[in-house]
Amino acid sequence: MVIKLVKTTVSVIKADVGSYPGHSRTHPKLLEVATRMLKEAEGSILIDSYVTHCGDDLELIMTHTRGEDDEEIHKLAWNVFTECARVAKEMKLYGAGQDLLADAFSGNIKGMGPGVAEMEFEERGSDPLLVFMADKTEPGAWNYYLYKIFADPFSTSGLVIDPSMHQGFTFEVHDVVEKRRILFDTPEESYSLLAYIGAPSRYVIKYIWKKDGTIAASTSTQRLNLMAGRYVGKDDPVMVVRAQSGFPAVGEVIDPFRTPILVAGWMRGSHHGPFMPVGIHDANCTQFDGPPRVVCLGFQVSNGKLIGPVDMFDDPAFDRVRVRCCDLADVLRAHGPFEPHRLSLEEMEYTTLPGVEKQFKDRWEDLPE
């Protein structure tokens, strides 16, 4: 039996178009509307689709053969978000349409508010795919994990014992402030890579490839506050990772999430908090609008069809990291409005703090020499 290889595009596009109560979770009605609209597009521009949520973010997972940055795919996602925002406004959901920064679609959804992670690849005989979705944090939250998955042999043993990964991987890093990009090869440039991605509020991993150019991972790098010039909510990034047969195994991809790292976001997008891996049923941000959450859905891709999903973090193996995240949350919350729980002043520039500073700008006096 010959398995036909097809070139498939996976597009994961997300937006916060309204939630209840407050910033906690996406309303089931919005999931129903989005699911219906994507199903209507299957057989025309889509092959398959799946709709879910992480916290207050509506997540659209779509497969097709049109490549990245396709206008029709992005227009479909935009239409879904605007219709869901309309429904959210009718229900008086909180923050209805808050991630939609434009009044009308203009050819590409990038720069209009929603987050986008896409990749195009020729399917293998078996193609495991992991889709990660986060709430109450920023795109740089993926940096630590992507390094552990694709560059750290103490985390991914396949980098040492699998000959197909011995050459390492190429990382594309974006400077989201200066809007520029750079490539680093690992393992030979690992230290230089770390010099940048260790500052995740500015330097964000966008793509990872094998040395032969085969795509391995793709993330969303959209920074809402930089696009809008003001605080409109956290970016709540998404990420797509391929696994097995020349890539890290599924278990190697998700194992680093057993470490509770601290990420920026949480309440009002102004605090550091632990990044908690949870099942979809626990992807509802409550305590201080958090802590920041991450979910992972696993699929097999077969001629563009999504076989699954499997809720990868709905597993007792991640119970201990969830407890540790709660312990870290207690320590940080005890700091109240003080750093390091609150973000640094530089990172607070696009939060609501500048509104407070304006009230007192005329009361500051120069110190006598």
Q: Which residues are catalytic?
A: 16, 231, 234
Helices within the chain (DSSP H only)? 28-41, 71-90, 142-151, 158-161, 190-197, 224-228, 250-254, 319-333, 353-360
User: CA 243: distance to chain centroid?
Assistant: 18
CA distance 13 to 35: 13
Task: Assess contact for 234 and 352: CB atoms under 8 A.
Answer: no
Ramachandran class of 277: left when φ > 0, alpha when ψ lies in -120 to 50, beta otherwise: beta
Sign, Cα dihedral of 148, 290, 100, 281: positive
Picking from 284, 272, 301, 246, the residue whose alpha carbon sits closest to that of residue 50 is 301
Contact 197, 203 (CB under 8 A): yes
141 membership: H or E segment, kind and range: none
